[in-house]
């Protein structure tokens, strides 16, 4: 009987600790990040069909269409390796669609891998835990595809919510950040996100950073960035509501200055120019999201300065969003006659 599954998986905003989530770092010493998922999603539709009517076994529709007879022929690396990992051979119609562009620093690649694995388990009538889902997505991306990626995006996408994620050599733990609705809304309302218009392959951009981390060149920067996770959590828990955006924004600015030291690939004149324009218009601080060299810029800023920042960055597209708490979910499941 044909079965149709649709998964919905959020992208994330990484705030503090990025870089300590790479295995090359946390296999030697603990790492941690703080971030949140937002209500911008990757959707994956997976439907079984009778391939005897067609010349192909698998149809994959994304920015291109692949009609495949053998899994090894699949060009989309995550689709290919997820199917091989799950031992699923064919008779699948797969459609991929997203709210935001790929390769832009919001963890969309991992959002896809998490969402696709989730859909494939549902296709088999199985429910997988969020922990296992994230761990298997890491395995697919890091070991099977062998991409230069960290481990935070997969856990953000699987779990959802505003979290501190702690990385150890033998385990990864997600700890939800306990903050009041008022504080959560305060951060949400003071945060602005803009698309620079530039996309890039994170796996290529981050190679220099990983080499620097492996050679211990980045140790002092990464340790300071790691400490900022604890500082940010302390601010969120203890600061009065009206002071939180200012001090959190200032810490975000310090984080951005350190992040730029990790690699020559992190920033470029376009990013630096946009960042300066926002700061000149009163932003408390911000950062480029993801691996670097493009994607999305995030800023914490006084609400009364938002319009001035929007006007200063009028060539960039703003993203409207809210924080979300669900992580990857199956939003549609139907057995069809």
List the Cα angle 180/110/296 in 5-degree steps. 65
Question: 181-318 has which fold?
Answer: Alpha-Beta Plaits (3.30.70)
Q: Which residues pair with 128 in a beta bridge?
A: none
Q: Are 110 and 154 in contact (CB under 8 A)?
A: yes
Q: Are 293 and 205 in contact (CB under 8 A)?
A: yes
Run of H or E residues at 36: strand 31-48
Per-residue pLDDT tens over the stretch 213-261: 888 888 899 999 999 999 999 999 999 999 999 999 999 999 999 999 9
Question: 3-177+324-335: which CATH architecture?
Answer: 2-Layer Sandwich (3.30)
pLDDT at 256: 95
pLDDT at 216: 86
Helix, strand, or coil (residue 201): coil
What are the DSSP calls for 313-337, one per residue? TTTSEE----B----SEEEEEEE--
What are the DSSP calls for 177-209, one per residue? ----HHHHHHHHHHEEEEE-S----HHHHTHHH
What are the DSSP calls for 280-305, one per residue? HTT--EEEE-SSSSSSEEEEE--GGG
pLDDT at 1: 66
How many CB atoms neighbour CB 170 within 10 A? Answer: 5
Rounded to two decimals, the pTM is: 0.94
Residue spans per domain, the chain: 3-177+324-335, 181-318
């Amino acid at each position: 009987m044909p079965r149709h599954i649709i998964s919905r998986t959020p992208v994330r905003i990484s705030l503090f600790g990025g870089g300590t989530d790479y295995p090359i770092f946390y296999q030697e010493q603990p790492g941690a990040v703080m971030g949140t998922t937002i209500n911008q999603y990757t959707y994956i539709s997976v439907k079984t069909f009778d391939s005897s009517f067609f010349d192909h076994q698998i149809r994959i529709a994304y920015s291109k269409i692949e009609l495949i007879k053998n899994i090894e022929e699949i060009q989309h690396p995550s689709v290919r390796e997820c199917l091989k990992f799950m031992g699923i051979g064919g008779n699948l119609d797969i459609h991929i669609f997203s709210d935001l562009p790929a390769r832009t620093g919001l963890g969309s690649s991992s959002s896809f891998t998490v969402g696709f694995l989730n859909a494939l388990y549902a296709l088999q009538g199985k429910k997988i835990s969020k922990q296992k889902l994230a761990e298997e997505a890491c395995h697919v991306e890091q070991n099977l595809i062998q991409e230069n990626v960290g481990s935070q995006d997969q856990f953000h996408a699987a779990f959802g919510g505003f979290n501190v994620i702690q990385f150890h050599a033998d385990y990864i733990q997600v700890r939800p950040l306990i903050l009041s609705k008022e504080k959560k809304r305060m951060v949400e309302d003071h945060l602005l996100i803009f698309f620079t218009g530039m996309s890039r392959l994170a796996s290529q951009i981050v190679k220099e950073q990983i080499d620097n981390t492996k050679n211990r060149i980045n140790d002092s920067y990464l340790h300071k960035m790691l400490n900022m996770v604890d500082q940010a959590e302390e601010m969120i828990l203890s600061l009065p509501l009206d002071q939180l955006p200012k001090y959190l924004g200032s810490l975000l600015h310090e984080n951005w200055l350190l992040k730029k030291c990790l690699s020559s690939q992190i920033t470029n004149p376009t990013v630096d120019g946009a960042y300066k324009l926002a700061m000149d218009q009163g932003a408390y601080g911000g950062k480029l999201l993801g691996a670097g060299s493009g994607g999305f810029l995030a800023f914490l800023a006084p609400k009364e300065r938002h319009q001035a920042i929007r006007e200063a960055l009028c060539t960039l597209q703003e993203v409207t969003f809210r924080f979300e708490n669900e992580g990857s979910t199956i939003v549609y499941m139907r057995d069809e006659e």
